Amino acid sequence: MKASTAMRVWFLLFAVIIFVGIYLTGFTVVHWFLYLPVAGMVFAAITGICPSQIAINKIFGSKGK
């Protein structure tokens, strides 16, 4: 399951917005857990594979079948 180009850009834009929030708050103040969605979205933007979407589809089943 590969993401479209529009979805990949959305992942990257959302990751940048979260990262700017981390930057404005301060890297030493922000909890490490907030870096996980940023890393996941950057991975999804680069590869086109979204691990969280795959996990949710496996848990709840895919409606596209």
pLDDT at residue 63 greater than cutoff 80: no
Rg (CA), the chain: 14
Domain assignment of residue 33, given as a range: 5-60
pLDDT, one tens digit per residue, over 13-42 is 999 999 999 999 999 999 999 999 999 999
Looking at residue 57, what DSSP letter applies? Answer: H
Query: How confident is residue 3, by pLDDT bands cut at 50, 70 and 90?
Result: confident
In the block, tokens 């996941």 appear at 40
Instruction: State both tokens at 22.
Output: 């981390």
Tally the domains of the chain. Answer: 1
Domain-located, residue 65: no
Q: 42 in a domain, yes or no?
A: yes
Is 1 a residue whose pLDDT tops 70?
no
User: Helices (H) and strands (E) in the chain — how many of each?
Assistant: 3, 0
Whether the pLDDT of residue 55 is over 90: the answer is no
